[in-house]
Amino acid sequence: MSGLPPPLEEAPLRAAVRTALRARAPRTLVVLDDDPTGTQTVHDVPVLTTWEVNTLRREFAESPDGFFVLTNSRSLPPTEAGARIRDIARNLATAAPRESFTIVSRGDSTLRGHFPLETDVLAEELGPYDVTLVVPYFQAGRRMTVHDVHYVGEGDRFTPVAETPFARDPSFGFRASNLRTWVEEKSGGRIRREEVASFSIAELRTPDWDDGDADPLAARLRALPRGATAVVNACHPSDLARFVLAALRAELAGGRYLFRTAADFVATRLGLEPRGLWQPAIECTSARGGLVIVGSHVPKTTGQLQHLLWVGDVIALEASVPELLSPRGPALVAALAALIDTGVAAGRNVVLSTSRTLVTGRDAAESLAVAGRVSAALVDVVRRITVAPRWIIAKGGITSSDVATAGLGVQRATVRGALLPGVPVWELGAEARFPHLPYVVFPGNVGGATALHDALQRLAPAPAAHESISSPLP
């Protein structure tokens, strides 16, 4: 990055974004989130887990600035994911005029997910769009794009994303770190690399941005060929704010754009000011214990879990994945639920994790199916719990989505802020099994080695002696 121009000042750009939002015709931001971790940068924004037309109409009226719809499509095979996105898109078109809302397809900052499938379906149902824009920058996760290459930061090192474990995901793996090449790879060659436009950091850092009528970046966006795909470089929050400002100006001039982004784009596009970490309310320190559910298998999660179990005063329950998938699975589920109830009622914090050896299928579809069966078993455990924990932490995207929707019956929640950077806290709705419960959506690939233990410390853990129980079958 040594040859790049210095970043622009962030505060004036954010102020200009808010001015642009006030100046333009009201257009609701609808974020279709392929798992619940996309809420990690916002606060006081609603999340829907259902998408009936009347539900969407009501949300457009009550939340005109924007809202999330949790699709959980990353957990589905391509055919089912496409069908779900199509269903949501058609309901949105029935609930509100297409020109009255802007769509963000929120995906993983390490490029895992159904792209370009989801944006293709959205373009078919809600388009045509002038440009589809790929913006994976995510500050808290240290994901940045420089010279079109997307990087993942760890310690003092930044690694091209294709050289990280994320690129070897059994369902969504890839070979390219250059985003233009990645678009070609993921589209199967339909979108050629040389056809993908790029907005460079040098462009984003030019000083002539404050004349809205002559914004060169907005003009370039408007001049791209109809139906083009473009990638956006960013390695500083002001880079993102500068692009969002240009996109808003281009929209105000009549453009329609479809966005495939990570979480930071959403907060910037909503004009949200950065806020300090969420503070637990007094009810979080009640006599009941809390519950941590760990389904993610990425190396970062496993390291965080090991640290928590080493230093934390928790009851540790490990659910063997082979046993969950076997005929003995129902007995294991019942035993785990009973142990959780006992521990939570006694004021203990309970950690339920799946065994750490990853079990996969013969191909991407089978691997997704295995993950779905394991997640369904964890959901069954949650359904059987009768004692309300004082809070729940769910670790991993598929895990946190399935536990919220299928295990706790959540239809609408409100993002209250972040427990740790990049770790959102939801307040569950009145319809949930445990109404108004603080529910922490902890992405699998976010945080340092101590992050899971840090989260428990911030949630006021109950003192207790360490205890470990492994696969408790009758």
User: Each residue of 372-411: pLDDT tens digit?
Assistant: 788 888 899 999 999 999 999 999 888 888 999 999 999 9
Local structure of residue 212 (DSSP, 8 states) = G
Q: Is the residue at 80 inside a domain?
A: yes
pLDDT of residue 26: 67
Mean of the pLDDT values across residues 408-422?
Answer: 95
Residue 224 or 77, more confident = 224
Mean of the pLDDT values across residues 453-474?
Answer: 62
pLDDT of residue 61: 96
Residue 261 or 22, more confident = 261
Residue 192 and residue 154 share a domain: yes
Q: Is the residue at 2 inside a domain?
A: no
* Residues 105, 428 contacting (CB under 8 angstroms): no
Mean of the pLDDT values across residues 29-40?
Answer: 92
Residue 368 and residue 452 share a domain: yes
pLDDT of residue 23: 81
Q: Is the residue at 275 inside a domain?
A: no
Using 50, 70 and 90 to split pLDDT, how confident is the model at 286? low
Q: Is the residue at 3 inside a domain?
A: no
Last residue of a domain, one of 243, 269, 295: 269
* Residues 320, 332 contacting (CB under 8 angstroms): yes
Going by their DSSP bridges, the two strands 131-135 and 228-232 should be labelled as parallel
CATH number at residue 318: 3.40.980.20
Residue 421 or 26, more confident = 421
CA–CA distance, 463 with 273 (Å, rounded to integer): 36
CA–CA distance, 415 with 395 (Å, rounded to integer): 17
pLDDT of residue 100: 94
* Residues 244, 17 contacting (CB under 8 angstroms): yes
User: Each residue of 303-355: pLDDT tens digit?
Assistant: 999 999 998 889 999 988 888 888 998 999 999 999 999 999 999 999 999 88
Q: Is the residue at 276 inside a domain?
A: no
Token pair in block for residue 263: 């979480």
pLDDT of residue 468: 47
Q: Is the residue at 118 inside a domain?
A: yes
Q: How many folded domains does the chain comprise?
A: 2
pLDDT of residue 155: 83
pLDDT of residue 470: 47
CA–CA distance, 361 with 77 (Å, rounded to integer): 13
* Residues 107, 81 contacting (CB under 8 angstroms): no
Exposed / middle / buried, residue 160 (Cβ in 10 Å: 0-12, 13-18, 19+): middle
Q: Is the residue at 4 inside a domain?
A: no
Residue 373 and residue 263 share a domain: no
Mean of the pLDDT values across residues 37-63?
Answer: 95
Mean of the pLDDT values across residues 231-237?
Answer: 97
How many C-beta atoms surround the C-beta of residue 439 within 10 A? Answer: 25
Using 50, 70 and 90 to split pLDDT, how confident is the model at 464? very low
pLDDT of residue 156: 86
CA distances from 62 to 40, 66, 93, 424, 430 (A): 22, 9, 17, 22, 17
Mean of the pLDDT values across residues 80-106?
Answer: 97
Q: Is the pLDDT of residue 172 over 50?
A: yes
Is residue 444 helix, strand or coil?
A: coil
Residue 178 and residue 309 share a domain: no
CA–CA distance, 220 with 212 (Å, rounded to integer): 13
Residue 123 and residue 197 share a domain: yes
pLDDT of residue 447: 85
Residue 100 or 370, more confident = 100
Residue listed under structure tokens 């598929």? 398
pLDDT of residue 360: 67
Residue 296 and residue 261 share a domain: no
Last residue of a domain, one of 269, 297, 323: 269
pLDDT of residue 463: 46
- Identity at 77, one-letter amino acid code: P
CATH number at residue 136: 3.40.50.10840
Last residue of a domain, one of 248, 269, 290: 269
Q: Is the pLDDT of residue 149 over 60?
A: yes
Residue 281 or 285, more confident = 281
Residues 6+ apart with CB under 8 A from 455: 393, 419, 420, 423, 440, 442
**Which element (helix H / strand E) includes 317?**
strand 315-319
Domain extent at residue 346: 282-470
Q: Is the pLDDT of residue 285 over 60?
A: no
Q: What percent of the chain has pLDDT over 70?
A: 94
